[in-house]
Structures are given as structure tokens and as C-alpha cells.
Structure 1
Amino acid sequence: MTAQLLDGKALAQRMQAELAQQVKVLQANHKRPPGLAVLMVGDNPASAAYVRNKERACTIVGIASYGKHFPADATQAELEQTIHELNQDDRVDGILVQLPLPAHLDSVALLNQIDPDKDADGLHPYNLGRLVRGEPGLRSCTPAGVMRLLEEYQIDLSGKQAVVIGRSLLVGKPIALLLLEADATVTIAHSRSHDLGAIARSADILIAAVGRQGLITPEMVKPGAVVVDVGINRITDATGKSRLVGDVDFEAVQPVAGYLTPVPGGVGAMTVTMLLHNTIWSYSQKFAGSVRLNSGT
């Protein structure tokens, strides 16, 4: 048996083409494009690459980009002031603070300053509360992307045993809530869980979201399980060439799993696409009688 790949890159490309058509319709009615502001602090190479990818994707679907790049020594007050200005800017429908931030900045406090209706990353407490209550709203991009990918491949979650390894606010907790909403039985495991291998082997749906290369080995995977690799780790080989790998030992797990996401080409592409989706959804909510998009869940 060889796992079927869950091709996030192909799905993301198709979704972006569909979003571009939706933007054309919306812009014709409302006389301006949706707008997204990404705030980046410092010169972290990985963050810079992510921001470039987001800006390119905005161009593809017709979203106006209002990115702001701050020096590494930018103050909390400067960033908060910028967020307040963007909250009041009618051209801007989505605001995202690129993480991680330099150590002297309080990322939680900054995220909480974003208008919940412009919270493109779905991380404001107001939007997380909507998720807990099962109400429509902006969803965290990576978890929403995972759910959309599972939906695309018609993977039935109802009644299945799902194990999420990782308990971050960015991925682990919201994906667990989304899986619960889809009627899965959910276990959250983490660094202090006893016998992680046994917990993982119980999963029909295994989500790895830790950020540790090769964490998931074939002995931890139930034969035929759906394995979703959210981890992104940059490694350098003996020749000095760098590449991205996930939390799953891909080559070793592929003969065991039923479905498997590659890294890159899996969840990462979906994360950017759901960011665009969230921005367009926020834009559509501003206009009475506008074309309504679903919440991505």
C-alpha cells in the first residue's frame, strides 16, 4: 500500500482561480478591491518568504496589498498605532501580523488590537469564541485549510478517532475544535503526553502540528490512517543545500498511511489560500446584499 497524497498545492491553485472570479464580481458591485495589510517586523528570512508568497497570492486573486515592514527595533506603541489606523482604513478588510515577532514585542497584545472583523488570521479571542460556540466567523487559516483539504478528498470524519499532536493556539486547539464540529472524536496530545506512540496509533485521522522534524514514524501510524503534516522545518543537508520537511518521516510513513500530505505542497499552500478567503469574506460582509461566501469551515 502507498498512501494517496493530499495535494494542497493543486487545490489551492483551483481555489485561488475561483476567488479571483468572486473578486471580479464583488469589485464590480463595490468599486474597490478587497484589501489585506500584512505587518512584518525585522528581517527573518522565513517570514520574508512567507510575506512574499502572500503578496504574490494577493496579486493573483485581485486583492490590494497594504503591507508594512518595520525594523527589528520597532516598538509596541508603533505597531499598535499602525493597527489602529488600519482598523479605521476603509480600504483594508484583513489585517495580519506576521509571526514570530522579535522577543521584545508582545504578540498576543498586538493580535488583540486587531478589529475582530478584520482578523484575517482568525486568532482574535472574539473569533476563537465564535469557533468554540460553532458560530459563523473568521477561522484560523491553517486549521481551516486542513478541513478544506479533507473535504476535497471526501474523507469522512464523523465518528472517527482523530488525534492532534500539538496544542498551540495557532493550529492545535482550533483544529481540534473544527474536528469536533465535524463529529470526530478528538484527542489532543503534546510534549507531556505519556506513550505518544500508542496515542498516535489509535488515530484514524492523525494531525501533526509540533514543528519537530521526523517526529511521526511509521510505528506511530495505524495502517490506512489519514496523516496530515502541518509541520514546516527547514533543514540543511551535507552539501549545504536547505529544504523544507514536515513533522512526519514522509518516505517511511507513506507505505503505511492511507492518505498523506506532502511538505511542501500540502497544508502550507492551503494556509495562504484561506488567508485570501478570509479577507474576501470580511470584504463581502461590509456591503448589504453582497455575494456571501461561506466561512471556510
Structure 2
Amino acid sequence: MLAPAMENTDKESPRQRDVQRRFDRVADDPAAGEFVFATCRENLLERLLPMRVEAKRILILGSGNGTAWRELRKRFPGSRLICLDLSRRILKSGLRPFSFFSRTSLLQANAEAIPLRDGSVDVVVANLLLPWIANPPRLLQEVSRVLQKDGLFAFSSLGPDSLRELRDAFAADDFPHVREFADMHNVGDALIRAGFRDPVLDIDYLRFDYEDTRSLYRDLSATGARNSLAGRRRSLTGKQRFRRVEDALRRQFHKQGLRLTLEFVYGHAWGGGPRRQTGEFSFRVDDLRGQRRNR
């Protein structure tokens, strides 16, 4: 039996509907992009282990197939979890095994407009959610709003070095294929402006090898790395775009196989800092840095 599900009926933008459709499809194919999500999720949750926080209520943004729920339940066994996702289908499919008595609530909503009270949660976790968000500063403001003072926000995202092979492959084209991702310093700026304090960020490079373009393209779509912005060329059908992707990648890689670099950005920050809507502020870049890893 499913835990009670709440549905947010706010009007969605075309971009939000596009994101929802993508994850509705992921609900039918849970393995799509799961390796990338799982790798990032394991590293993010590992970083939670030394954190000292009283977590009575935990909000998981972009909860997906429910794997993070299981891991957080082990880490915080007495907590109540709220699993939020834009796709109702992925909530229902991924969280189906959870019982009514699991102290877990399902919430279909847009993470940029979280339908929870101010200061109502102790921990917020977001794994690879930021690449899907149209307005990241608004998301951070919402997380800051619902987080209690001294509450913990832990997240992961993609950094600007992600997909550099694709950028090289498409360098001669005249329309965007992959997004530009915020670097660590800009994320730190945005956290402080949103009202967080003591942000700490680190990065981890992973390189993935693919035997064919279809598996690569599937991971791009599932992780939000594929461009879904209005700037893409509407005159091309999905099959035509996919054919262009294949042709460009094959020209780039030839017989060497398909290699894709992803720069994962991991971060955490604490609630209770002052919000800074305008004006300048300063902090030491070294204060943001954790350990850089290469794999």
C-alpha cells in the first residue's frame, strides 16, 4: 500500500511538462541512467555520514526510484521522510514497495515551489536535481525557506567540465546541444544569497565509456544533461536530432569508443544565514573547497 500522496496542482510551464514527461518515461524504464544516478547518490550519501544533525523530518527533492529513501532510512531510522518528485508515475512506481506505516509521505510537486511550511524540515537532500531546474536561485530560496535554522542541505549537481567531449563534437554546429552548468564558485555565491551559511563544495571527475551512442544518449536524457531548452532546433524531429548526434559523435571518436566526462559537484550548507538579495559580499574560495578527486 502506498503512503499517502499529496499532489500540487500549480500550473506548470512547458519546460516543467517536458521534464515531467521525461521522468514519466524513466518510470517505465527504471534502469535508464541509473548507473550515473547511483554513483552520484552513493558519493553524496557518503558525505552525510560525518554530519551531526537531528533529522526528525527529511525532504528528498527529486526522489526518483526511491533508492535514496532506503539509504536515508538506514542513516536516520527514526525520521519521517517526504519524497518529492515532479513525476507522479515515478513516485508510484519507485516507491510502491513502501508500506503505509513506513513514516514516508509522497509529494508530487515542483521543487521550485515546495508546498511545505517555513522551517518545517531538518534535512533536505537533492541528488542531481539542479540540472533539471529552470531557476536554480529560486530552488535554493525555497530550500532555505523550508529548512529549519541549523538544518542541513546536501546536494549534488554537474559542473562545467561535464560533457566536454560533446561540446567538441558539436563545436561546428549553430544550436545548443548540451547545457552550461554552474561552476563551484557560482553555486557557493547562490547558496549564500539564498540564506545558507558555511557552504562546503567539492568536485569529483568520472569518465564513462560507452560501446554505442544509444546507451550514452539514454544516460544524458536520464540525468538531465541532454539539452531540453527552448533553444534547440524545432525543425528537426527526434529521430533527426538523434541521427545528428550519432554522426557528430562518430566523427569525434571514430574507433576509439565513446568516452564521456562528468564533473560531479557535491555540496552541503546549513540553514540560518542572512538572505542577501542585493549588494556585494565576499568569502575565501578555499573555504568552499573540499577534496578534488579524479577517477
Query: Do both share a fold (TM > 0.5)?
Result: no
TM-score computed with the length of structure 2 as normaliser: 0.33
Structure whose residues are more often strand by fraction: 2
TM-score computed with the length of structure 1 as normaliser: 0.33
Structure whose residues are more often helix by fraction: 1
